[in-house]
């Protein structure tokens, strides 16, 4: 195991950024989001949760697919290149790391999403255990251990800096490339203390391990027609805050933009909370906000387990914190399932 001190951290980030693109939490006017490292940016590894999740690294909110330009009646098509260069996603929390597994199920199963696959192949994930989890965290509900990141490299906050441990070959290669800045140290004991700290706090948080036995594969008939949905969704504004901050939401739309001298085709995240989601010639199959609201939670808690054998929620708590009207998946789970920590 290695140690990196707090004052060495900026040098480490700079060193990584010299050879690879570095995607990490950056503070902009007091708000922290993932973004690409620039010389003058303010990296922020202390904020527990970025507003948007780390999924932008592999599945950006919008990306160009190709552009068509016309000149003298001739078309030229220029395709967007696939990601072909290694990059590092730094400071990803264990819940977000698990979200990549959920996204893999969708994008890497047949037919493979080639844009996503290329990024996934070149991405190296450096995860940071959750020092001081928050009250809205409920990752343990989905058997995620906030103290034990499952990435290429795992990091823990320890006295004066961070512990660093490579977990995979990719992680080892990254470690080799910046070895000069890491200090070989026996910090196993300190890491153990940090893990215990994290687990102790999680054990007193009210929602850390919710009872989800009412959900899962095969529960569609039990839950679909529940009268609770109307009540739960009544205040829903139909905005996309929950979907866009969610690390596992994976729906997108493909659109064309008329540039005046051609067309630029791009894809962007879509939200099942929007009334024109999957709009077809015949209209839409979900007419009311209740139906859209139900779709979102049924998808995460029932349909996805039906198809893929796992929940597609990772308990990061972003939607809990961010919903404008305080509607969220925890309330859904509590009201329709068990009301207690297990």
Query: By the criterion CB under 8 A, which residues form the site for another protein?
Result: 28-31, 33, 48, 51-52, 61-64, 67, 132-135, 201, 204-207, 231, 234-235, 237-241, 243-245, 253, 255, 257-261, 264, 266, 268-271, 274-276, 279, 320, 322, 324-328, 330-331, 334
CB of 309 or CB of 338, closer to another protein:
338
Q: List the structure tokens of 267.
A: 């894809």
CB of 3 or CB of 294, closer to another protein:
294
Q: For the chain, first and last CA: distance in Å? A: 34
Instruction: Give least dist CB 58 to another protein, A.
Output: 17
State the burial class of residue 95 (Cβ atoms within 10 Å of its Cβ: 0-12, 13-18, 19+).
Answer: buried
Whole-number Å distance between alpha carbons of 229 and 80:
42
Instruction: Give least dist CB 35 to another protein, A.
Output: 10
Instruction: Give least dist CB 211 to another protein, A.
Output: 14
Q: List the structure tokens of 316.
A: 């990061």
Q: 278 phi and psi, to 5 degrees? A: 50, 40
CB of 85 or CB of 261, closer to another protein:
261
Q: 230 phi and psi, to 5 degrees? A: -60, -45
CB of 172 or CB of 259, closer to another protein:
259
Per the CB < 8 A criterion, the answer to whether 281 and 269 are in contact is no
Q: List the structure tokens of 199.
A: 């687990």
CA 314 to chain centre: 9
Instruction: Give least dist CB 339 to another protein, A.
Output: 9
CB of 2 or CB of 277, closer to another protein:
277
CB of 157 or CB of 328, closer to another protein:
328
Question: Is the Cα dihedral 169, 105, 33, 49 positive or negative?
Answer: negative
Instruction: Give least dist CB 100 to another protein, A.
Output: 20
Instruction: Give least dist CB 169 to another protein, A.
Output: 34
> 152: closest CA among 82, 56, 245, 87?
87
165 beta partners = 154
Instruction: Give least dist CB 289 to another protein, A.
Output: 10
CB of 32 or CB of 127, closer to another protein:
32
Contacts of 147 (CB under 8 A, 6+ apart): 94, 129, 130, 156, 194, 195, 196, 198, 199
Whole-number Å distance between alpha carbons of 223 and 116:
33
CB of 71 or CB of 169, closer to another protein:
71
Q: List the structure tokens of 317.
A: 């708590």
- Three-state DSSP state, 277: coil
Instruction: Give least dist CB 91 to another protein, A.
Output: 17
């Amino acid at each position: 195991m290695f140690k990196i001190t707090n004052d060495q951290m900026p040098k480490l980030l700079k060193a990584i950024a010299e050879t690879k693109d570095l995607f990490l939490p950056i503070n902009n006017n007091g708000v922290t989001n993932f973004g690409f490292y620039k010389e003058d940016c303010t990296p922020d590894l202390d904020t527990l949760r970025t507003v948007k999740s780390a999924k932008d690294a592999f599945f950006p909110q919008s990306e160009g697919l190709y552009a068509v330009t016309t000149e003298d009646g001739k078309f030229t098509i220029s395709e967007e290149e696939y990601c072909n260069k290694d990059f590092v996603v730094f400071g990803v929390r264990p819940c977000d790391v698990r979200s990549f597994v959920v996204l893999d199920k969708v994008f890497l199963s047949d037919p493979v999403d080639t844009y996503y696959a290329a990024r996934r192949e070149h991405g190296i994930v450096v995860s940071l255990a959750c020092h001081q989890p928050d009250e809205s965290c409920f990752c343990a509900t989905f058997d995620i251990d906030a103290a034990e990141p499952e990435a290429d490299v795992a990091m823990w906050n320890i006295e004066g800096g961070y512990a660093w441990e490579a977990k995979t070959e990719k992680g080892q290669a990254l470690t080799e490339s910046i070895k000069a800045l890491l200090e070989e140290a026996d910090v196993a004991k300190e890491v153990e203390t940090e893990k215990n700290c994290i687990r102790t706090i999680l054990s007193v948080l009210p929602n850390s391990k919710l009872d989800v036995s009412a959900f899962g594969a095969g529960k569609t008939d039990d839950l679909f027609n529940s009268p609770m949905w109307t009540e739960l969704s009544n205040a829903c504004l139909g905005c996309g805050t929950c979907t866009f901050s969610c690390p596992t939401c994976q729906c997108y739309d493909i659109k064309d933009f008329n540039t005046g001298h051609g067309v630029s085709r791009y894809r962007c995240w879509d939200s099942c909370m929007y009334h024109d989601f999957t709009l077809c010639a015949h209209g839409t199959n979900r007419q009311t906000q209740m139906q859209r609201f139900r779709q979102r939670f049924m998808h995460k808690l029932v349909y996805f387990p039906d198809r893929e054998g796992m929940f597609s929620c990772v308990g990061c708590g972003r939607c809990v914190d961010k919903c404008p009207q305080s509607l969220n998946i925890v309330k859904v789970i509590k009201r329709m399932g068990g009301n207690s920590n297990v």
